[in-house]
Structure 1
Amino acid sequence: MDNKWYFDIAPGSIADLQQHARDITTLIPFWYGVKEDGTLADMSSSEVKKIASDNNLPIYPIIHNYSDPKKSQLIHDLISTPHLRRTLISNIRNMLEVNNYPGVNIDFEFVPPEDRENLNIFIHDLYATLKPTGRTVTISVPAELTDNPRHPFSGAFQYSFIAQYADEIYILAYDEHFSQPGPISSIGFVTSVLNYAVTVIPPQKIWLGMAVYGYDWTQGVNYPRTLTYQQAVDLAKNLGVTIIYDQTAQESTYTYVLDGKVHSVWFEDSKSFSAKLSLVDSYKLSGIAVWRLGQEDLNIWNILKTK
C-alpha cells in the first residue's frame, strides 16, 4: 500500500517518524509558506531531513498559505498577479533544486472560488516548469461531491483540469463536520466523494486523504478542539465514558458533560481507518495520504504492513 504521511512538528511526531520511517512511502512535511512577494518562508527541519535521508524516505514538501493570517487574500494576490505567480513558481523550483527534493505538494486552502481560473493557470504553469526537472507534482484538494464553481471552500478546485497538470492528487476526504458535531469522515461521505472523483480524475492519479485525529465539540462553541487518537481514548477513560463505534458512519464517538456543557467527540481509530482503506482497493486508487503523523492509533501500522 502506497502510504504518504503529512508531517508537522508536534509533541511525539519526530519520535513517531523515527519509529516508522521505513513503513512510510513518502513524507509530506508542512514546511514552506508562501509570502506576499512570492518568496517562501522556510520552516524545514534539519533533524527531519536527516531521519528521512537515513531511511531513504522521499520528501515532498508542502507549499502552503498558512504563513499569513489573511490566507485567502494572500493566495488571491499571488495567483492573480502574473509577476507574483511567476516569482512564486520560480522560487518553488529553486527550493526543490537546492534541497534535491524529488517532488512537491501544493496545499492551498481558502482559495476564493472566483480565483478558479487563476488557480488553473498557476497549476498549469507550475507543472510546465517542474516536469522538465523530473519532479513529481502533487496537489492536495478539498473533498467535492460535484463540480460547483461557486462553493465557498472548494469552488476554485476544478478536478478535471487539475488532473491534467498533476502527477498525484490527494483528495482530503475528511472534516465532513466542523462547525457542528458529526463524523470526521463517515464511510458514506468518503464513498460519495470518490464516486464523483473517479469520473473526472484517472483513479491511478488519486490518493485518498485520510484523517487519523478526532474532534471534541463543546455545546455553544462554533469550532472543535483537535484530539489525537490517544487523547480521545484517554479522555473517555478518565471520564469513565463508553466509546461507541457507530456502524453507519464507521467511526468512534462518545459524549460527556463538563461544567454543565455537553461535549461530542468523534475520532478515527484503526477500525475506522481499515474500513476506509478498503475503498482504495475497490476504487483502484494508488494509495493514501494521511493527516498526520503522530496523531494515529498505532494499530494502523499493523494494518498497513498487511497491505
Structure 2
Amino acid sequence: MILGYTLGSGDSDKSLTAFNKYFNTIATDTFSFDEDGYLIGEAPKEQLSYAKKKNINTYAVISNFGEQDFDADLAHQVMTDKLVKNRFIKQVAKVAEENGYTGVNIDLEAVYPEDRIPLSSLIKDISAVLHDNQIKLMVSVPAKTNDDKDNAWTWPYDYEKIGNYADYIQVMTYDEHGSWGSPGSLVSMKWLENTLSYSINNIKASKVLMGIPAYGYDWNLTDASKNRIVQWDEIQTLTKNDKIKPTYNKKTESVMFNYRDKNKQEHVVWYENETAIEKKTKLVKKYKLGGVSVYALGNETKAFWGAIQKGVK
C-alpha cells in the first residue's frame, strides 16, 4: 500500500489530481469527535468521488484533535464511558458505510498512560463492528523502539494487541525531532530501522505502514517560540537561494541547512530530500512491510513522489 493523507484543503485536492498515479490509497483527515462520542466533520465528497474514479482505496481518519491539539480527555471519554464508547463505535461504522469508505483510520494521540488497556479494548470493539460490515481498520501509532512505561507518549500503545485487531498499523515514523525540542533529523536512518524492527517483532510485518513526512522543521535559534513546520515546496524555494547550502548528513541520511532571516536571526532546517526518501522507502522491501504512508498531500512535488516510487520498487 502507498497511502497519502489528505486534508480538507484545496492543496490536497491539487495533489490528488496531480500525483494520484503514485499512490493507491488515501486517508481523509477531516473527522474528530466530541465528549459524547458524536463525530464532527464531513467527508470530502469531491476527493472520494475522484478516488473512486481512479480506483483508489479510501480511509476515514477519525482523531481526537481538539480545538488546538490532540485531546487526551476526549480519547479517555470514548474509551472508558460505556455509553459514549458504544455511540462512538456506531458513529464510526455509520460514516464509513454512508460514504463508501474502504476503511477507517483511528488516530488517537496524546493518550493518557493509564489508558493503555482501555485503548486496546476500544480498538478490539471497533474492529469487531467494522469487520462485521466488511470495513477495514487502520490504527495510527507513535513510533517507538521499546515498550517503555516511563515514556508517557508511547506507552499507551500496545503494539501486539492493537496489531492483532487492526488490518493495518500506520507507524508514525517521523518527528524524531520537532519544533518543540532541539534541532535534528525528523527521521534518522538508525532510529527508523530501530522503530521498524520493534514494530515487526510485535506486529505482522505485512500490516505495518512506514511513515514519511512531506515537510521539515525550521528552528529559530534566537527565539524558539518561532520554531515551525516548513512544507516540502517551501523548502525547495528556500534552497534555491545561493546563500543556502544544504548538507546531506550521512549518519542520519537526512538534510539540513542554516540561514539568517531578514531580522538577522539564525535558523536551522532539517528535512528529507529525494535521496533520503528513496533510501528510507527501500526499507519497505527490506522488512517486508505492508507499505508506506505520507503525511500529507498538498505541498509535495513530482520529485518527492518519484523518490518514493523508486524506493518501493
TM-score bracket for the superposition, by shorter chain length: over 0.9
Cα distance between partner residues in 2 of 1:47 and 1:293 = 15
Between stretches 134-143 and 8-17, larger displacement belongs to 8-17
Query: How far is 1:9 from its partner?
Result: 3.2
Q: 2:160: which partner in 1?
A: 160
TM-score normalised by structure 1 residue count? 0.94
Instruction: State the Cα deviation string for residues 56-101 of structure 1 (Å, max 9, x = none).
Output: 2121010011144471111112212111111100110111111121
Q: For the residues of structure 1 that align with 2:164 and 2:206, how far apart are their CA atoms?
A: 13
8 A Cα contact 2:25 2:58, kept in partner = yes
- For 2:284, give the aligned amino acid: V
Alpha-carbon distance in 2 for matches of 1:74, 1:154: 18
Whether 2:227 is the aligned partner of 1:224: answer yes
CA–CA distance in structure 1, aligned partners of residues 100 and 224 of structure 2? 45
CA distance in structure 1 between the partners assigned to 2:248 and 2:214 by the alignment: 15
Task: Provide the C-alpha distance between the structure 2 equivalents of 1:81 and 1:151, rounded to a whole number of angstroms.
Answer: 25
Question: What is the CA-CA distance between 1:222 and the residue it aligns to?
Answer: 5.0
How far the C-alpha of 1:188 sits from its partner, in A, is 1.1
Q: Secondary structure at the match of 1:31?
A: strand
Count of equivalent residues:
306
Q: Percent identity?
A: 28
Match of 1:208 in 2: 210
1:216-248 alpha-carbon deviations (Å, 9 max, x no partner): 011231573111222112123236211111111
Residue 245 of structure 2 corresponds to residue 242 of structure 1: yes
Cα pair distance change 1:240/1:11, threshold 3 Å: farther
| Partner AA of 2:176 in structure 1 | E
Hey, what's the Cα distance between the residues in 2 that align with 1:296 and 1:17? 11
Which segments of 5 or more consecutive residues in structure 2 lack a partner in the other structure?
none
Does 1:264 find its partner at 2:263? no
Whether contact under 8 Å (1:35, 1:68) holds in the other structure is no
Which amino acid is the alignment partner of residue 247 of structure 1? K
Q: Distance in 2 between matches of 1:298 and 1:22?
A: 11
Q: CA offsets, 1:3-51, max 9 Å, x none?
A: 0111113453211111122332110110211111101012322221222
Partner of 2:124: 124
Partner Cα separation in structure 1 for residue 225 and residue 192 of structure 2: 24
Of 62-71 and 262-271, more deviation after overlay is shown by 62-71
SS of alignment partner, residue 88 of structure 1: helix
Are 1:298 and 2:297 an aligned pair? no
**Which segment is superposed worse, 82-91 or 148-157?**
148-157
Counterpart of 1:49 in structure 2: which amino acid? L
Whether the 8 Å contact between 1:174 and 1:210 is mirrored in structure 2 is: yes
Change (3 A) 1:190 1:222: farther
The one of 278, 282, 298 equivalent to 2:282 is 278
Amino acid at match of 1:110: A
Task: Point out 4+ residue stretches in structure 1 off by more than 3 angstroms.
Answer: 67-70, 303-306
What SS does structure 2 have at the residue aligned with 1:12? helix
Query: Where do residues 81-230 of structure 1 align in structure 2 (5 Å cutoff)?
Result: 81-178=81-178, 179-219=181-221, 220-222=223-225, 224-230=227-233
One-letter code of the match for 1:94? Answer: K
Amino acid at match of 2:235: A
Q: Distance in 1 between matches of 2:226 and 2:60?
A: 28
User: What is the CA–CA distance in structure 2 between the aligned matches of 1:239 and 1:215, rounded to whole Å?
Assistant: 20
Q: Unaligned 5+ residue runs, structure 1?
A: none
- Is residue 68–residue 74 contact of structure 1 (8 Å, CA) maintained in 2? no
Deviations 1:157-186 (A, max 9, x none): 010111110010011110000111111111
Which 10-residue stretch deviates more, 139-148 or 72-81?
Answer: 72-81
Indicate the residue corresponding to 2:15 in structure 1. Answer: 16
Using the alignment, how far apart are the partners of 1:210 and 1:272 within structure 2? 10
- Aligned equivalents of 2:81, 2:163: Cα separation in 1: 23
